[in-house]
Amino acid sequence: MTRNRLLAAAIAAALLFAACSSGDSESSVPMTGQSSGQSAAVTQSVVPDLTPVADLEMADPGEEHVSYAPQVPDPVERTDQRIFEVRLEAIEGVCPLDPENDVSTEMWGYRIDGDTDVQCGTPGPVLRGRVGDLARVTLTNSAESTHPHNIDFHAVTGQGGGAEALTVAPGETATIDARLLYPGAFMYHCAFGDVPLHIAKGMYGMFIVDPATPLPEVEHEWAVMQSEWYVGDANDNGVAPFDPDALFNEEPQYVTFNGRTDALVGDNALKMNVDERARIYMVNEGLNLDSNWHPIGSQWDVVYPEAATHEANDPIRGSQSTLVVTGGGTVTEMVGYVPSTVILVDHALVRTFYKGAIGQVVIEGDENPEIFAEREASEGEAGDSGADAAEEAPTPDSDEETGDAEEGEAVSTNEVTIPEGAFDPSNADNAYDPLEITIPVGTTVTWANEDSVFHTVTSGTVENNQGSPDGTFDSGEIQPGESFSYTFDEAGEFPYYCIPHPWMQGTVVVQ
């Protein structure tokens, strides 16, 4: 049933293309800016007056019009309309999806034509032009591809957003001229054949069209694209196969930013300084889920809803979250007020905690206690539930002294620290310090939370970021500065994890 419905959808799309293409190819709508014969709808449009194509000059060769996310090309600063060229290549291959767990999958995507150093084209390059410009786009389908491909540009007004004219078999090339009529941040994607399949495989990117009056200058501009991955469990080679049933049921196993779980965390985190402003162009590539774009630990100082950046659209000033529909976009700005790590999420948090939709903006600089400060509790305020329990916990015997251990070697101690930053998936290797301890029967182990958020110590195992408690022990919420103790009266191996942060995993070995 699933395959039949997908086939029916593909056939319907093909028929639609054929029907739309059968009419007169000459447009009867006058160019914007001409008064003769224009309808009220055209004269009220925000589309600018267009310089005739015959009068357009080529853009300066020094202008940037293409980059790879999260970087974006520099803004277009000129005030006139011009022609610029972009050359892309469709490619196919097996690429990392969840590197931390050694999971890859087959991806189809785009790269800058001739850039053979790029083997994985998901997401595709970020394109950038100015409203009124004519974009001359050339698409080549790699001779090593096994499927035809094309591009449907949401920023392009024309049959299928250019998809019909850009459909190319492996080894073929096609070119279109497309006028950019509306400013904003737009999705582009492959629209050949089974369109959902091509998008689900990773064939998408972003096209930024600058307004005639440039947006205010900021210190940083970044591109973020959210997408869904409909794959099954990885095989012995670490390759997760495409799952058509999951696609039809709209149940992705992964939801990512910029094509993989680690694209914006750890060494790949975005960075800015206190008192700087960053602008993020965000597109929800889908395939099926709306996004709830939110910065944990900050706010959107400015939001351009649906990424509409023309002068007639007043931005929202101050927002906690903004909705980004599937196939749509937004432009958001944040200010670095205090040093911290802001967590970028889809606030449908299962997608963040269990499926990979997470990014980081690391803000560095001086503290600002006028905005945020950690207040130290005065004597008598802290209570005795946490500190006293830690003080009363038994210390190791002389033959079980704590000491450094070689990597992978269990440490003999009865005290475990939950260090600062343990909530961050990139710190999973040190989420409990130490991760594994060895103790004799009858020992009481104490976990002290030194992080800035609450955690749990819950016995059980984690698979695919899904925790399975076994009921042996559960701390409940251990708030910052508090601790939890448990006495082990039986020998065995006891794995445990944190319920809200399942990448935090440790083990107690009782001998």
Whether the pLDDT of residue 11 is over 70: the answer is: no
Tally of CA atoms within 13 A in the half-sphere of 89 that contains its CB: 18
Q: Could you tell me how far CA 397 lies from the centroid of its own chain? A: 48
Return all residues near 380 (Cβ < 8 A) that are at least 6 apart.
none
The answer to whether residue 20 scores a pLDDT higher than 60 is no
d(CA 393, CA 377): 22
Q: Which pLDDT does position 386 carry in this prediction?
A: 43
Q: What is the pLDDT of residue 464?
A: 75
Pairwise pLDDT comparison (395 vs 504), residue with the higher score: 504
In this predicted structure, the answer to whether residue 92 has a pLDDT above a threshold of 80 is yes
User: Mean pLDDT for the chain?
Assistant: 87
Q: Which residues have a Cβ under 8 Å from the Cβ of 381 and sit 6 or more positions away?
A: none
Residue 131 contacts residue 183 (beta carbons within 8 Å): yes
Strand runs labelled E in 144-290: 152-153, 173-179, 184-189, 204-210, 220-229, 254-257, 270-273, 277-286
Q: Which residue has the higher pLDDT, 26 or 16?
A: 16
Q: Is residue 116 classed exposed, middle or buried when 0-12, 13-18 and 19+ CB atoms within 10 A define those classes?
A: exposed
Residue 22 pLDDT class (50, 70, 90 cuts) = very low
DSSP-based three-state secondary structure for 13: helix
Give the mean model confidence (pLDDT) for residues 207-226.
Answer: 96
Cis ω on the peptide bond leading into residue 70 (within 30° of 0)?
Answer: yes
Average pLDDT of span 14-39: 42
Whether 24 has a pLDDT exceeding 70, the answer reads no
Dump pLDDT digits (tens) for 465-483: 778 899 999 999 999 999 9
Read off the pLDDT of each residue in 281-301 and give the average, rounded to a whole number. 97
Residue 128 has pLDDT above 70, yes or no: yes
> How much of the chain exceeds pLDDT 70, in percent?
84
**Residue whose structure tokens are 């073929």:** 172
Q: Report long-range pairs for 243-247 (Cβ below 8 Å, ≥24 apart).
A: 244/2, 244/3, 244/6, 244/197, 245/2, 247/196, 247/197, 247/200, 247/287
229-285 per-position pLDDT tens digit: 999 999 999 999 999 999 999 999 999 999 999 999 999 999 999 999 999 999 999
Instruction: Give this prediction's pTM.
Output: 0.73
